[in-house]
Amino acid sequence: MKRITHIITGLHVGGAERALHSLLTGGLQDRFDNRVISLMGEGAYGPRLREAGIEVRCLGMSPGRPSPIGMGRLLRAVGAQVPDIVQGWMYHGNLAASFARRLVAQRAALSWNIRTSLDNLGNAKRSTRLLIRLGRPLSRGVSTILYNSQKSRLQHEADGYAAANGIFIPNGFDIEHWRRDPSGKPSLARTLGLTADTKIIGFVGRAYAAKDLPNLFAAFQQVASAHSECHLVCVGRQIEETAPPSLDRSRVTFLGQRSDIAQIMPGFDLFCLSSSTEGFPNVIGEAMACGVPCITTDVGDAAVVVGDTGWVVPARDPDALAQAISEALSLADVIKEQLGAAARLRIETHYALPAIVDQYAALYQNLSGGNGSVSTEASLVSLEK
């Protein structure tokens, strides 16, 4: 059984962390001997991975501040059980994987996993732009570069990343975990003290610049003035602290970070993603699997995922976002129900977790060590918009 060491920036609540957990617990652990190294702490997913029988090592590095001590811990952690494949996750994890493989695992195949697009690169942090630049020459020594977004792959390769090594594999979703629940809406409305006819608009994410919460709040303020029956529910840590003073708090509920999102999402009438940049937004797929029509900005592969089951608007345009939300709220309930059913079917057809696990497994089985690579043609996924 091949040994795979996954090196990831951290294991807090986030899209890449959730994707790694889903893959490993969704069947990949049964086919390979996986272990996970977090450059920082164990976050929310470290304990969950351990409960699933997956080894997790945490190096305790500070965010964005690699230290000689931390890099020494990394080399010892990788060298203690030299893997057949070193898999990096996100920019920091990818560079750490390259460093460790070069010094202590030269015979291992090296794979990167890039989880975001370059939609809003000009507004990215200076450190992020530096990491992206560093990745250009290093990408030529990588066996495979995994992208969870077709748009991200095109953008990175146009930016100088090695094109011959690129593979697109989208995110996958456990459609038994994320599912429709007819009792979800009345249950959530009762819990929040809302009337049964209140239209609930949901948002799930972190208070992170890429999520563009100012865009969300500005759009909702426009919508709330025209639709007295709507209410915004925000799930995620520290979101309330970012809300402007002008926001009517009686029309918004901030739930903070939650572990029961799969039970909350079916209670939304609509889901809204306001991001300025994404790769493949997990929350869109999760909401769709729960039968919730989505309104999203045109970032990463969001438009491809939503297809014709929802609304896509330009990023950083609160007027356009507000118009789409208003249009969705004005639809008859039967039409929204049909869109939700179509969204669920789209996830079942194109993004069910077992099929995505199979693609990762096929890639890892074919990866060879050293400077070897794998043919990408058999691993490409063709999706219809």
Domain assignment of residue 38, yes or no: yes
pLDDT along the chain (385 residues), means of 10: 97 94 97 97 96 97 82 96 97 96 96 94 86 96 97 97 97 97 97 97 94 98 97 96 96 96 98 96 97 97 98 98 98 97 98 98 87 43 34
Residue carrying the six token digits 């629940």: 181
> Would you give the distance in Å from CA 300 to the centre of its chain?
11
- Short-list 258, 197, 273, 257, CA closest to 230: 197
The number of distinct structural domains making up the chain is 2
Verify that 236 and 161 share a domain, yes or no. Answer: no
Distance CA 328, CA 322 (A): 10
Domain assignment of residue 58, yes or no: yes
Cβ partners under 8 Å of residue 192, min gap 6: 200, 231, 233, 253
Tokens in use for 109?
Answer: 């195949």
Domain assignment of residue 260, yes or no: yes
Distance CA 153, CA 160 (A): 11
DSSP 8-state code for residue 85: E
User: Could you tell me the CA-to-CA distances from 69 to 81, 95, 104, 133, 234 in Å, in that order?
Assistant: 19, 16, 16, 25, 39
Domain range holding 363? 3-172+352-379
User: Could you tell me the CA-to-CA distances from 209 to 17, 124, 149, 213, 234 in Å, in that order?
Assistant: 18, 9, 20, 7, 15
CA neighbours within 13 Å on the CB side: how many for 382? 2
Predicted pLDDT of residue 166:
98
Verify that 268 and 217 share a domain, yes or no. Answer: yes
Bridge-partner residues for 38, per DSSP?
8, 58
Verify that 56 and 16 share a domain, yes or no. Answer: yes
Verify that 151 and 225 share a domain, yes or no. Answer: no
- Short-list 158, 169, 165, 167, CA closest to 280: 169
Verify that 259 and 302 share a domain, yes or no. Answer: yes
Verify that 189 and 66 share a domain, yes or no. Answer: no
Tokens in use for 79?
Answer: 């060298």
Verify that 358 and 342 share a domain, yes or no. Answer: no
Predicted pLDDT of residue 273:
98
DSSP 8-state code for residue 329: H
Query: Which CATH number fits the domain that encloses residue 221?
Result: 3.40.50.2000
Tokens in use for 314?
Answer: 């330009």
Domain assignment of residue 179, yes or no: no
Verify that 248 and 165 share a domain, yes or no. Answer: no
Predicted pLDDT of residue 62:
87
Predicted pLDDT of residue 125:
85
Predicted pLDDT of residue 165:
94
Domain assignment of residue 286, yes or no: yes
Predicted pLDDT of residue 145:
98
Predicted pLDDT of residue 48:
97
Verify that 115 and 144 share a domain, yes or no. Answer: yes
Distance CA 190, CA 55 (A): 41
Verify that 263 and 156 share a domain, yes or no. Answer: no
Q: At 99, give phi and psi (nearest 5°).
A: -60, -50
Domain assignment of residue 385, yes or no: no
Domain assignment of residue 197, yes or no: yes
Verify that 147 and 195 share a domain, yes or no. Answer: no
- Helix, strand, or coil (residue 258): coil
Report the amino acid identity of residue 8.
Answer: I
Predicted pLDDT of residue 230:
98
Predicted pLDDT of residue 373:
53
Distance CA 296, CA 314 (A): 9
Domain assignment of residue 177, yes or no: no
pTM: 0.91
Alpha helices in the chain (DSSP H): 15-25, 45-51, 68-79, 90-104, 126-138, 150-158, 184-192, 213-226, 261-264, 282-289, 302-306, 318-330, 333-350, 353-366
Q: Give the pairing of strands 252-256 and 230-235.
A: parallel
Verify that 220 and 83 share a domain, yes or no. Answer: no
> Would you give the distance in Å from CA 382 to the centre of its chain?
20
